Every structure is written in C-alpha cells, then in structure tokens.
Amino acid sequence: MTILSRLKESKARRCIEAALSGAGDAYEGVQAARTLREVGSERCVGVLCEALERGEKRLRQEAAPALAAIHQRSPDKRILAALNAAILHASQPAEVREAAVEALAQVVDVRRAGSLVQVLTSHKTPLRVRAAAIAALKKLHYAEVLERLVESALFGERLDPKCEIRRWAIHELRTLDDHEKLAKLYQIAHGQRRLRYRGVSDESGGVGAIVRLMAEVDPRGSRRFLNQMTDDLNPEIRAAAREALASLEQQD
C-alpha cells in the first residue's frame, strides 16, 4: 500500500468512526466507506463490520461491498461472519440484507453460501432479499435453484396474501435456463427429487400443486408430461393432470 493510500484509509476510517459515534456527518461516512472499497486493508475491517451492524442505513449498504473488496485483497473470517449475520438478521433493513447478499456472492463459492439458501426458507424474508439470494445462487451455479423456487411458489400464496412471492417464483421458474426443469418437477411430484426445507404437504396443495405448477411454468412443454400423468397410479396426480390440461385447453 502506498503512503497516499494509507493516508486515505486512515482518514476514511476516522470518518466512519465519527459517523458511528454521532459526531460526524452521515454522508461523509458513506463516502468514506466507498473510499475503503478501493484502498481499505485489514486495519479497517473492524470499523466496517461495526458500520454494517449498526450504522445509518446507507452506510450499512456501502459497508457490505467495501468488506467484500477488502476480503478479495486480504481474506478475513470476520468479514464472512459479518456479511452472513447481516443477511440472516431479520432486523436489518431489506436494502442492507440485499447489499450483503450481493457482497457475499463476490467472495465465496457455492459450498460456503449456506446463508443464501437459508434466507429463502423463511416466509418473512422480503421479496427483494429473496430475489437477490436467487440471483446470487444462480451466479454461484447452485444446483438446487429450481427446488428453492418451487418451495417459494408453493408456500408463497398461503403465507403472502398479495401472492407477490408466488408470482415472482413462477416468473423465475419460467425464465430459468434449465432444459430439465419440467423433468425435475415431474420427479418432485413422484418423490424422486425432494424439496429440501418444505416438503409437499396438504397445506401447500399436495403433489397436485406440483402438477399444476408444471402447467404454469411451461404451458406448451408441460402437455407431454401432463398427458402421461393422466394415467398415473397416484389418483391425486391423475386428477391434477386432467385439471391442468383442461385449463390449458381453455386458454388456447
């Protein structure tokens, strides 16, 4: 680090400390966090972690990418712990959790992305945080993106009266670049592929909900599967397949 960079880092660190104590200007604290994204070292990890935890909202948002940038230059377990905590804390503003999700995705591989998966299991997770987590998991090539979206679609309607989560999940499933998604939904319906956190239950409409979801996700491509399922051994699957096909015919 050059002398100039070290001076910038020291000044920025003092600005954030002042902002956290209430003695400094909040805007200057935000600008200081942006400076540390460029020149920060392990010497400012502590103050940025504190800023992420309890700073003014905009400062928290800027602290997350600053910590990620420092971690890329000098890996530090404190940074990963702080980002994960920000992602999982329901008391954090949605904007801050979203920034932490995006920051964590910059510095971990899929094996250390547990918080990104965990945040999807709570119906209380704001939609923007949920969407950021799915985007991050796609970027990290997480293998079960479809399953997490299916869970959101199945339980979104029951837990979200406005159905925003369900609509979002179906949209994401439709745009998912996965040529096997209908086959995977078929496997879920038949118990060959399991939902990890929220099993298909009576509350979510049972396996029939999975069958009907296939028609919503891909109206044209699902017909082959639905026709096959009209003779399924499971009467619930048979009935749902016939119902879905009838609905698709009405739409034609």
For residues 121, 97, 217, 232, the Cα torsion angle rounded to the nearest 10 degrees is -10
Left if phi > 0, otherwise alpha if psi is -120 to 50, otherwise beta: which for 27?
alpha
Q: Which residue has the tokens 């970027």?
A: 139
Please report the pLDDT score of residue 4 as a whole number.
87
Please report the pLDDT score of residue 127 as a whole number.
94
- pTM metric for this prediction: 0.90
Would you list the domain boundaries of the chain? Answer: 1-38+46-69, 125-252
Task: Say if residues 132 and 101 touch (Cβ distance below 8 Å).
Answer: yes
Q: Which residue has the tokens 């956290």?
A: 20
Alpha carbon distance 61, 63 (integer Å): 6
Please report the pLDDT score of residue 145 as a whole number.
95
Handedness of CA 85, 89, 127, 220 (dihedral sign): positive
- Mean pLDDT per 10-residue segment, the chain (252 residues): 90 97 94 97 97 97 98 97 97 97 97 94 90 97 94 76 88 89 95 74 73 95 96 96 95 80
SS (H, E, C) the chain: CCHHHHHHHHHHHHHHHHHHHCCCCHHHHHHHHHHHHHHCCHHHHHHHHHHHHHCCHHHHHHHHHHHHHHHHHCCCHHHHHHHHHHHHCCCCCHHHHHHHHHHHHHHCCHHHCHHHHHHHHCCCCCHHHHHHHHHHHHHCCCCCHHHHHHHHHHHHHHHCCCCHHHHHHHHHHHHCCCCCHHHHHHHHHCCCCCCCCCCCCHHHCHHHHHHHHHHHHCCCCHHHHHHHHCCCCCHHHHHHHHHHHHHHHHHC
Task: Say if residues 97 and 65 touch (Cβ distance below 8 Å).
Answer: no
Please report the pLDDT score of residue 124 as a whole number.
83
Task: Say if residues 9 and 40 touch (Cβ distance below 8 Å).
Answer: yes
Please report the pLDDT score of residue 160 as a whole number.
75
Give the amino acid at 13. R
Please report the pLDDT score of residue 93 as a whole number.
97
